[in-house]
Amino acid sequence: MSEGRRRAGADLLSRLGANDAAFMESVSRRVRFRVGDVLFEEAADAETFYVIDQGKVGLELTSPGRPPIVIQTLGDGDLVGISWLFPPQRWNWRAKALTDTTATSFDAAAVRLACDRDSALARQVLEVIAREAVGRLQSTRLQLLDLYGESR
């Protein structure tokens, strides 16, 4: 089956060597969210990031006087949260489960500390995060083009 574009979360876990994978396993746990549960709030400290095993999570922008706006949905194998790696380590969006969702959560502080000590692990993690960030940037550019509008 198609393997050309792996989801970032799945990619993060699959590319690590045995020792690094064991470390990631040691700072992770399986979590379950019901529909409507909030994984993290906008502007909160980025202490935990997630890889979705099964389900759907929406990244939301909250705005006064109106319901939250979903700006992107994430699904199986996706990485939820990239701000944990960069100062000031605060979430830019709210993440909310749009369906019942199972995920693997990771202790962001522990992973950051491990990356500080292990440049090989840091490179692997950075590469996955950078690729995900570039993918989201490219998608956002396409969305900004308003491809389906009248003047195409």
DSSP conformational letter for 85: G
Q: Which part of the chain contacts another protein (CB under 8 A), choosing from 24-32, 40-48, 62-70, 89-97?
A: 62-70
Place of tokens 């990631």: 24
The beta strand positions in the chain, using DSSP E, are: 28-33, 38-40, 48-54, 57-63, 66-74, 79-80, 94-97, 101-107
The H helix count followed by the E strand count for the chain is: 4, 8
Nearest to 16, CA basis, from 134, 127, 131, 104:
127
Longest alpha-carbon distance in the chain: 53
38-40 and 28-33 beta bridge pairing: unpaired
State yes or no: residue 137 binds another protein (CB under 8 A): no
State yes or no: residue 56 binds another protein (CB under 8 A): yes
State yes or no: residue 5 binds another protein (CB under 8 A): yes
Q: Which part of the chain contacts another protein (CB under 8 A), choosing from 80-88, 105-113, 116-124, 139-147?
A: 139-147
Q: Which is nearer to another protein, 67 or 88 (CB)?
A: 67
State yes or no: residue 22 binds another protein (CB under 8 A): no
State yes or no: residue 34 binds another protein (CB under 8 A): no
Q: Which is nearer to another protein, 58 or 107 (CB)?
A: 58
State yes or no: residue 149 binds another protein (CB under 8 A): yes
**Positions in the binding site for another protein (CB under 8 A):** 1-7, 56, 58, 67, 69-73, 75-77, 98, 139, 142-143, 145-150, 152
